[in-house]
Every structure is written in C-alpha cells, then in structure tokens.
Structure 1
Amino acid sequence: MKPATQQAWAWFKRIAPWALAALVLTLVARQARTVEWPEVWRALQTLSLVQVLTAAGLALLSYALVASFDLVGRRLTAHTLSAPRTLGIAGICYAFNLNFGALVGGFGLRLRLYMRGGLSAPTVAQVITHSMVTNWLGYLWVAGAVLLIAPPRLPESWALSALWLRAIGGLMVALALGYLALCTWSRQRELGWRGHTLALPGARLAGLQALLGGASWMLIGAIVWSLFGGRVDYPTVLGALLLAAVAGVLTHVPAGLGVLEAVFVATLAHALPATEVLATVLAYRAAYYLLPLALALPAYAWSEAGAAPRVASNKAQPRPTNGI
C-alpha cells in the first residue's frame, strides 16, 4: 500500500466512527424534540402486569445466560475459581457494564473482583476476551441471519437498500463460520498479537460459544417483543435491537441512552406510533437495565463488605523475618 493510501486509510479509520456517532446522535436529538412525552407515559400505563413480569423473568434468564460466557474463559484458562463464583462475578459486572459502560463494568470491576479471587491480570484479560468473542460471535450469525432472511425497513435517509443489507448479512454469517472453521481445523491452538496469546477453543467449545452467544441475543429480542404484545413481529423487533446495539457501541454512550430509543423509533416507524415504541423501549430499559442493576448493587456491596475483614486480617499477619 502506497504512503498516500495508508494516510488516507488511517484518516478514514479515525474519522468514520465519529461521523457515524454524530449521525446517530443527531437522529437522537431530532426524535427527542418531536416526541409527545405525555402520550409516552399514557402508553406505558397500558402495559399489562403479565407483560411486565414476563419481561422481568426473561431479563433475569438472559443475565444468567450472559454470565455463563465467563465459564468459557474458565474452561480455557483452567482458573481455580468455582463456577458459581464465576457466574456471580460475571452477572454483577454485566449489569454495571450495561449501565455505566464497558470501562467500568466490563474491565475495571471485573479485574477487581477476579483478582480478589486470586486470578492474575493476564488470566482475567483472557476471560474477558473469550466472553467478548462469545457475545460477538453470537451477534454475527444472528444479525447476519436476520439481514439475510428478514432485513429491517430502514428510513430512506439511511440509503441502505435491502440488497445491501443482505450482502452485509452474508458477510457476517461468513465471518462467524470462518471462526468456527478456524477452531475446528487450525493446527495452531493459540492466537498471538503484540506479545499476547489467546487459547483457541476446540470445535465443540466454539460451537457452544456460537450457541450461547446467539441464544443471548435472541432472548434479549424476546424481552422487547414480549413488551410489544404481538403488535410487531419478532424478526422485526430483533433486527431493530441488533442495529441499536451496534449504534450504542459506536457512539460510546453509557447504556445507549437515547440511541436505543432513536433506532427503534426509526426502524419501527412504519408499524407503530413513536409514542408506543418509546414506551415499550423505556419498559425494556427498566426490565433489562435497571432491575438487574438493582440486584447487582447490593451484591457488589456485600462482596466489598466481605472482602474488608479478609484484607484487615491479612494486614495483621506478622511478616516472616527469615530468622533475622
């Protein structure tokens, strides 16, 4: 690649994410100005108790499934923390991750809780990486299948035809299959990058990663779909959720505040009034973001309270003098 081309590509990689973020945030601002918020509140009040309880139950089930991603890292790193403790740490951190951002929950808090359990920083990094691979492997094949089979209807201003969406979907499925092929037939069982290595799972474990990751995204879609009460078909809801997830990641907004709502309103404008869509998404936030956080906060506080006596006890232990 010529120097001029390299410079242009480097410039594009720096500018493109910010341009996309600006586009999405502009969409958020426009939607917020046009919303009739009293109508949204009235639409929220029409949700039945059965819908709310179903969404809450599916949300807790989804968290248990996402927490199991860390068991893949436990298997591949052979760390000594028990499976229940691993699940507990992962569940707490995922709630913090969704609400406060990946830097807090996905990395900082996970590092703190795992290292308190005796794991080294490189081991924790591998657990986190395997969890991320499981999540995005599932995203690739689920989102790819949705784009191939039932591409969402996008606003005309987005300038992406159904043909383009299907092409993107095919590429995503191909990437997911490529990972599975690599895990199945590669003779090299470790991947290296800048001095860091990552164990490559075998075919069965890679297949389990794909199954867990895909089931997680489909279950999250089922939460939103249950709150719509059958007014929108499941593939359409799932497609909107998958688009919103990527938009939230690219804009780096904690909990995707505003981004999630804007994408849902834009993609479901043909099916429901914006007020009803917003009411449903707000109910989804309560079930999937706030309810688990309400459980994770006291669990984390209990973990910190239990760690304090152990730290004090360790400090009180006399240091060996080696006979001096």
Structure 2
Amino acid sequence: MSARRARGRRWRRIAFFVFLAVVAVLLVRYAASVDWPQVGATLAGYSALTLASAAALTVGSYLLYSCYDVAARRYARHHLPVPHVMAISLVAYAFSLNVGALVGGAGFRYRMYSHAGLGIGAISRIVAFTVSTNWIGYLLLAGAIFAMRAVAPPPQWGVDIGLLPWIGVAMLLAVGAYLGACRLSHGRVFHVRGHHLRLPSLPLALLQVAMAACNWSLMAWLLHLFMPPEVSYGTVLGTLLLAAVASAIAHIPAGIGVLEAVFLALLGHQVPAPQLLAALLAYRACYYLGPLLLAVAGYALLEARVRRAALAGEPVR
C-alpha cells in the first residue's frame, strides 16, 4: 500500500509540473500577442488620487486581516501582546499571498509563534481559525453573488448558468450550518481521527464572517479602482472570488497566470486586454509585491528580536 501511495504521489507531482509547463507556454504565447505599450500607457495614466486610494485600501485590508489573529488569540486562549500578534499576522499574510498558504500562512505562523513561546497545539488552533475565517467569509460573499447571478460567463461561451444560483444557495446554507453548529456546540471538544476540534462561540463565529467578508470586499474594491468605469464592482468581486478558487486549486504561488486567465476569460469581451492587464498588474503591485517587500523587512526585525531575546535569556515580547 505504501509503494502504491508513493507512486500516486509521484504521478501527481509529475502531473502538477506538466500543468505548470503548459500554463507557462500558454502565458508566453499570450504575452507575445499583448500590446504592451498600451498596457504601459494605461498604467502611467492612473491618477495620484487613484494610487493613494489603492494604498489606503491595501493598508486597510492588511490591518483587517491581522485582526483574524487577534480574534484567534481569544479562540486559542493565549496572551501574547496584540501588537506582536498583528505583526506576525501581517508578515504571514504577505508571504501567504506570494509564496503559498502552506509555506506563508502556516509555516511562518508556526515559526514566529513558536519563537514567541506558544506550543504546537495553540499554533494549530490559530492557523485553523484564520484559514476557516478566510473561507467562511468567502462562502458568504460568493454564495450571495452566485445566488443573485451577479457574475456570469461571456455570452459567446453558450454556457447554461442555471446551476450557479443553486451553488450559491448551497454556499449560504453552509455558512448557516457553521453558525448553527457554533451556537449548539457550547465549546464542546470533538475528536476526529485523533484531532481535537472545538468550534468557536457564536459571537466569535459571527465576527469571523464579518471580518472575512469585509476583507474580500476591500480586495475587490482595490481592484475595481483600476478597472474602466463600465465594469461594475459586483462583477469585479464575483470574478475575483472565482479566481481565488481557481488559484487555490492550481497551487501556483501568488496565483500567477491564474488570476489573469480568469479575468481575461470572464471580462475579455467587456474590457480591452491591455486595460485589463494593466489593472491586474497595478493590483498585484499594490496588494502583493509592495506588502511583500515590507514583510521581508518585518520578518527580519522579528527574527532579530528573537535573537536578542535568546542572548538575553528573556521571552520574546
């Protein structure tokens, strides 16, 4: 059985790299056909007010995301200082977006929280809480958008979207089921395959939904700033939510190529490709690359703090 599993993992790894190679070839072929001077002209045409607004939305979104870990502080029942928790969350989020959730979101949290003195159990609860927060808010927004048919494939696809509202309803029911389970569990610990699971209280679960839904909305608002005026906010939000799932399935760091492919497929009939690519590049610069540069510096500071505390024989604060 172990040999069979090993072969299965090997073939999945091969299939993944083949998939990456195909995506790379398609991206190169598409890039050769893009009017890059027009993309550059669109980027240069963004006003100072647009760029300032984008920076403000990015800061607001990252600060809101850091509150996931602050709320997880109560769920995991630890007492690290809130500023330290927010610093860890901000660094982890930037790395998660750019290098992947497993390495960035989980790996960096395990490293930095363990340096701060938390045990593996508490850190696992923090990671589980932040991941579930992100996706429960996603389900609420995506469910509402799909149920209202606010996003649809291009007309030339000829695809029947009659199933989409039902998928949206199922998502909303899943959110309701989660909240109901949190209300009924009363802090009870469940044992699933050797793992201990405790659902948050209903007020904490409602906070999860509100924070994540607001954060996804801010991300879409940021991207909408760079879009032509004829593209509605609801369309951008729905497309971004679809692209997020596609990126998660593809497991490509930063969703490179996937985000662009989804937007070009769904909005290419509505927005000229150079304008669409310029908007996506500006969004990536504001929400991915800029915060990553700051996160690298922040991580270096956190590590230096750990070393100083170790030399002094004091706990990290």
TM band (smaller chain):
0.7 to 0.9
- The answer on whether the counterparts of 2:187 and 2:200 sit within 8 Å (CA) in structure 1 is no
Residues 1:156 and 1:109: Cα distance change in structure 2 (over 3 Å)? same
CA distance in 1, matches of 2:218, 2:22: 25
Q: CA deviation at 1:162?
A: 2.1
User: Aligned ranges for residues 49-64 of structure 1 at < 5 Å?
Assistant: 49-64=48-63
- The answer on whether the counterparts of 2:187 and 2:198 sit within 8 Å (CA) in structure 1 is no
CA RMSD of aligned residues (A): 2.6
Q: Deviation per CA, 1:21-48: give whole Å up to 9, x if none.
A: 6799387566434322222112111111
Q: Deviation per CA, 1:37-64: give whole Å up to 9, x if none.
A: 2221121111111111111110110011
Bigger shift: residues 115-124 or 198-207? 198-207
Residues 1:255 and 1:159: Cα distance change in structure 2 (over 3 Å)? farther
User: Aligned ranges for residues 83-232 of structure 1 at < 5 Å?
Assistant: 83-155=82-154, 160-186=159-185, 189-228=188-227, 230-232=229-231
Residues 1:192 and 1:71: Cα distance change in structure 2 (over 3 Å)? farther
Counterpart of 2:220 in structure 1: which amino acid? G
User: Aligned ranges for residues 262-273 of structure 1 at < 5 Å?
Assistant: 262-273=261-272
**Number of aligned positions between the proteins:** 302
- The answer on whether the counterparts of 1:35 and 1:275 sit within 8 Å (CA) in structure 2 is yes
- The answer on whether the counterparts of 1:24 and 1:251 sit within 8 Å (CA) in structure 2 is no
CA distance in 2, matches of 1:156, 1:31: 22
* Identity %, equivalent residues: 40
CA distance in 1, matches of 2:189, 2:29: 47
Q: CA deviation at 1:271?
A: 1.7
CA distance in 1, matches of 2:307, 2:85: 20
TM-score, L = length of structure 2: 0.87
TM-score, L = length of structure 1: 0.86
Larger RCO: Structure 1 or Structure 2 (Cα < 8 Å, ≥ 6 residues apart)? 1
Residues 1:189 and 1:29: Cα distance change in structure 2 (over 3 Å)? farther
Counterpart of 1:174 in structure 2: which amino acid? L
Bigger shift: residues 150-159 or 59-68? 150-159
User: Which protein shows a greater Rg?
Assistant: 1
Bigger shift: residues 106-115 or 34-43? 34-43
CA distance in 2, matches of 1:268, 1:72: 36
Unaligned runs of 5+ in 1: 1-9, 316-324
Partner-residue secondary structure (3-state), 1:198: strand
Q: CA deviation at 1:151?
A: 3.5
Q: CA deviation at 1:220?
A: 0.6
Name the structure 1 match of 2:34.
35
Q: CA deviation at 1:313?
A: 3.4
Unaligned runs of 5+ in 2: 1-7
CA distance in 2, matches of 1:203, 1:23: 45
Partner-residue secondary structure (3-state), 1:68: helix
- The answer on whether the counterparts of 1:24 and 1:259 sit within 8 Å (CA) in structure 2 is no
Q: Deviation per CA, 1:133-179: give whole Å up to 9, x if none.
A: 11000000101111111332324687752212112111111111110
